[in-house]
Amino acid sequence: MHDDTSLTIARARRVLAERIIPAIYPQSLPLEVAAHPLPGEPIAPADGLALDYCPHTVGTEWGPAWGTTWFRIRGQVPTDWAGKHVELRIDLGFDTSMTGFQCEGQVYRADGHGVKSLNPRNQWIPVADAAAGGEDIELFIEAASNPVLLEHHPFLPTAQGDVRSSSPTPLYTTKTMDLVTRDLAVYELSLDLEVLLELQAELPEAPRRFRILQALDDALDVLDLARIGDTAAAARAALAGVLAQPAEASAHRLAAIGHAHIDSAWLWPLRETIRKVARTTSSMLELIDSDPDFIYGMSSAQQYKWLKDQHPGLYARIKQAVANGRFVPLGGMWVESDTVMPSGESLVRQFLYGQRFFQEEFGITCHGAWLPDSFGYSPALPQLMSRAGLDWFFTQKISWNQTNTFPHHSFDWEGIDGSRVPTHFPPMDTYNAQLSGHEVALAARQFRESRRASSSIAPVGWGDGGGGTTREMASKAQRLKDLEGSPRVSWEHPDSFYARTAAELPNPAVWVGELYLELHRATLTSQHLTKAGNRRTEQLLVEAELWATTAATRTPYDYPYQELDALWEAVLLHQFHDILPGTSIAWVHREAVAEYARITAAAQALITAAQTALTDPGDVELVLNPAPITRNGIPPGGSCPLAKLPAPGPAVTAVQDAYGIRLSNELVSINVDTNGLITSAIDLASGRETIAPGQCANLLQLHQDFPNQWDAWDVDAFYRNRVTDLVAADSVELSTDAEGSARITVQRSFCASHITQELVLAPGARMLEITQHTDWQEVETFLKVAFPLDIRAEHSIAETQFGYLKRPTHVNTSWEAAKFETSMHRFVLLKEPGFGAAVLNDSSYGYDLTREAADARVSTTVRISLLRAPRFPDPHTDQGLHTHRYGLLIGADIASATAAGIALNTPERRITGRYAFPPLVELDGEGLLLSAVKLAADRSGEVIVRLYESLGRRCTGMLRVNADLESVSTVSLLEEPLADGEPVFTETGHVELSLGAFEVRTLRLRLRD
C-alpha cells in the first residue's frame, strides 16, 4: 500500500484550521458598543459601571499602556436563534501567543457580578446554553491595556515598564464584538481532530498510528466542507472508534490540576496582579461550574486576601468552591517566594501567615509546598516545610538548568538538618501545560521513576500573567482519560498524587542539599535597593517583636499584633520570586523601595514605643542589644547603662608611610597600600597571613555583563573573561576617632561612577569593616569586590537560613562548574585546618569563588557581588546611590563568622531611659541562637521562642525565662502542639534543651500573670 501519512496529516490540519474551527460559530451579529477610556489608575467596578459611555466603533484603537477602558456592550438575541447555544465573542485586539502578557478584560453584569474574563485564548462570554430568543444583553468589560514587554526579541530595553515613562498612544485595536451561535458538534469535532492529530504525531510507526490516520481520512471524507455543521456528527462518528480505544494497562498517568501561575508582580505592577487574579479566578469558577471533573489549584494566601478585600462577591464563590473540593488552595505560603534570599525567620513567616490564612478562611491546612517557578531552593527548606505541616514539595524550575539534567522526578529531598521531604518535578517540564499531545507524551517519555512509579503531575493552564485553564484544555482532558497510545489524564488533587507515589516508591532516591538552579544566577544581585530593603526590614520586624514581647509581658504595653502582621505581610509579599530577585519592571522596584522605607519607619516606631515602655522616661543613656549574640557583655534582648559598658581595648595603632598605612590592634595587623588595597592581614596570635601572596584584597573589579538572554536574571559564565581592576585611587586618607578606631577613606572614580570606601578597624576587632558608598552610573556592568585568601579551602561555607551549607571549591564536574555564582546570607567562610577567614555583608546575597594554585600552594579568592546594571526589564536597574557594608574577618571559624555576620546586620541601639532591664529569655549552649521572641499568632498572650543550632552539630543547652513560667511546650512553626514534641517540663523556670544539627525548635511559653 502507498504511504499517505503526510497527505492525511496535511489535509486534517488544513480542514481543521480553515473550515472546522471557523464553523464553530456559524452565525454572528455585531453588538452595540460604547466605551469610556480611563488613562490613569483602575477604579472600583461599581464606579466603572456608572461611567458615561460614548459609542465605540469596532476596528478602532483603544488603550494607552497601563490604562483601563470600560466598554459597554448591548444586544438582543434574535428570536430565530431560539434553542441555540448563544455566546458573545470579544476580541480586544488579541495576539494569541501573548496570553497573560497583553490586554485583558473582566466582564461584569450591570448588577456588578463578575461573569468571567477575556484574554487571547479565552474570547467568549456565555449568554445561554439554549436561548429563548429575544433576551436583552447588557454587559460591561473592564479592559486593561497592559503593554507587551516580552516581544519577539524579548529582552530589549523598554520605557513601557513604568506608567511614568510609558507611551500614551493607544496600543490595541478592537477586532470583534459579536453575538454568536456556537455549534457544539463542530466544537467537539475540532477537539476530536486536534487530539488525534497530536497523538499520532507522538506514536511509533505501528498499527495504532495507522488506524488513527485512516480514521482521520474517513472522517474528512464524510465531512461536507460547505455544510460543516450538518455533517460534523457523521465525521465524529467516524472518529469514535479510535477515540474509544482504551489506554494500555501500563500507560503513564497524569495527575492534572487546573492552574494559572500568576506572578504576584513581574512585567506588571502589584495593582495589576490583583485584577489578574480576579480575572483568572472568575473564569476558573465558570469552568468549575461547567465541567464536573475539573479541579483548579491556586497558591499564595496573599492572592486570596486581595480577592477577599477587593472582590468579596468573587471571594464568596471561591469559598464555596473550596468547600466543594473543586478549588484547591496550594502551597501553604503567603506568596510563592524566593527561597534562597529570605532569612530563616522570613521563610517561617511565609508558612505561618500562609497556613494560618488558609486555616482561618477555609478550614484547610495545606499539605505541600508549591513553588513551580522560584529560582533555586534553599537546603533549609525541607526542615521548615515539614515543621510547617507540609509533607511534600513541588517545583519544575530545575528543568531549566543550563548544564546538568536533574536525575529524578519523584524523590526525597534532604535538607541541611537531615529532614527529608517527598518531592516531585513534573517531567512535562512546564507549569503552564496545554495538555498537547507533545506535552503528555514528553511526560511519559522523560519520567525517570517509571520502573516503579506510575504517574506525574500536570499543571494545566496559561500562567505567569494568568489566564488559567481553557475549556479546550478541559475538553482535551476528557478525551485523554483513557485513550490508547496516550498517558491517562485525570483531574486530581496533588495530595492524592503524592500519596500514590509514596506507596509506589517506598525507597525513593535521595537528593541531599540545595536545589541549585543553573540559570538566573544574577538574581542574587540585581536591584540592590530591593535586596537591602529586604535584609533591613526582616531584621527590624524580628527586633520589634523582641522588644514588644518583652514590654508586653512586663508592662501595660499592648502588643501591636495588627501592625506587626501588616508589616510582615508587606515584607513577605516583596519576597515574591520576581520582586526580591530584582527581575520585575521599573514600576515594581520603584514601589518596592518606597514600601521598604515605609516599613522601616513603621518598624522603628514600634521599636521606640516598646523600648520606651520598658525603660520609662529618664536620662540614663542605655545600650540595648537586639542581636542573638552577647555583645559588650549585654545578653541578647538585654540592656546596660552606657556608663557600665566594659572599657574599650587600647586604641588602634595607625602608622602611615610612603608605602601605605598599617593598622593594628592586639589581634590583627593590616596593611593598606597607597591605592587603598589590602596587601596584608595578619592574625597576630598565630602569625598567619590571610591575603594570598602577591595579591590585594578589597579589590573592586568590573566585568562586562551582557548575558545572552534574561538580562536581570542571568550572568553567563563568559563574564569572567573580561575584567577591569579598579586599582587607582583618587585619594587615601587616614583618620582616627574618639573611640579609638582607625579609619581609611578611599575615593575612586571610574567611567561615570564614583566610590567612597571607609575601612575601619576598631579596638579589639578581628574584622576590618568596609562601608562603601557608590554612585553607580554604569550599564551592563557587574561590580565585585575580591578577597584573595591564602587559605587552602576545600569548601566554601556560606550561611543560609538557620545554618550554613558547604560547596566544593573545585570544578571537577559539570555540577560544580555550573555553580559559578552562588548564594550566601551574612557570611562566607573559607578555612583550612587551623585557620580561616570570613567575608561578611549587610545587603548582598551573591558571591563567587575561584581556587588558584601556584608552586603547589592553593589559595582561594572569594568575591562579593555588589552591583549590576542590566537593562531589561528595568532599563535603569541599579543606577544611582548605593551603600554596602561588608568586612573581612581575620582568623575565623563558623561560630565567629556567624556572630560577626549577626553583629554587622543587627546594630546596638542607644536610648535614654530610667533604668536598664534584663532580657525576657536567656539562652545558654554553644551554637544555640535565638531566632524569634514574639507573642503567639493566636493572640492568646503566650510567648513563642524560636531557636536553632547554628554550628551543624548536636548540642545541649538551657533556656532561662526571666518571668514566672507556668508551662512550656514544643510547637510547630505554625505554633501548634507537636504530637511527638519533646517534653520540656521544668520546675526551676529553666528549660533544658537538646537539639540536633541545624535543628529549629519552637517553644511556646505560658507565663503566669
Binding site for Zn ion (CB under 5 A): 263, 373
Which one, of 415, 563, 465, lies nearest residue 267 by Cα?
465
Pairing of strands 176-181, 27-30: antiparallel
Which residues is 118 bridged to in the sheet? 105
CB neighbour list of residue 822: distance below 8 Å, 6 or more residues apart: 516, 521, 524, 796, 798, 807, 846, 847, 848, 849
As measured in angstroms, the least distance from the Cβ of 277 to Zn ion is 14
Amino acid at 256: A
E-only strand ranges, 425-577: 455-460, 488-491, 510-512
Cell 514534641 -> residue: 981
Please, are residues 761 and 768 in contact by the beta-carbon 8 Å criterion?
Answer: yes
DSSP 981: P
CA distances, 628 to each of 424, 429, 635, 828, 946 (Å): 36, 42, 8, 19, 11
CA dist list (Å): 788 to 768, 812, 830, 843, 954: 15, 21, 11, 21, 33
Cell reading at 87: 455566546
State the CB neighbour count (10 A cutoff) for residue 518.
19
**For 576, which DSSP code?**
B
Lookup: cell for 802: 538557620
Q: Catalytic residue positions?
A: 373
**Strand (E) or helix (H) holding 36:** strand 32-38
The span from the CA of 319 to the CA of 479, in Å, is 30
Residue 202 or 373: the one with the smaller Cβ distance to Zn ion is 373
Classify 953 in phi/psi space as left (phi over 0), alpha (psi -120 to 50) or beta. Answer: beta
Instruction: Give the residue nearest to Zn ion (CB).
Output: 373
Distances (CA, A) of 968 to 216, 559, 956, 989: 71, 21, 17, 9
Do the Cβ atoms of 928 and 630 come closer than 8 Å? no
Q: Which run of H or of E encompasses 173?
A: strand 172-173
d(CA 839, CA 845): 12
Q: What are the residues whose beta carbons fall under 8 Å from the beta carbon of 927, sequence distance 6 or more? A: 895, 949, 950, 951, 953, 955
**Beta strand 296-299 pairing with 327-330:** parallel
Burial 519-536 (b: 16+ CB within 10 A, else e): bbbbbbbbbbbbbbbbbb
Distance CA(251)–CA(198), nearest Å, equals: 17
Pick 260 or 785: Cβ nearer Zn ion: 260
- Print the SS3 string covering 231-256: HHHHHHHHHHHHHHCCCCCCCCEEEE
Task: Tell me the C-alpha distance between 487 and 326, whole Å.
Answer: 23
Compute how many other C-beta atoms are within 10 angstroms of the C-beta atom of residue 353. 23
CB of 941 to Zn ion, least distance (A): 39
To the nearest whole angstrom, how small is the minimum distance from the Cβ of residue 577 to Zn ion? 6
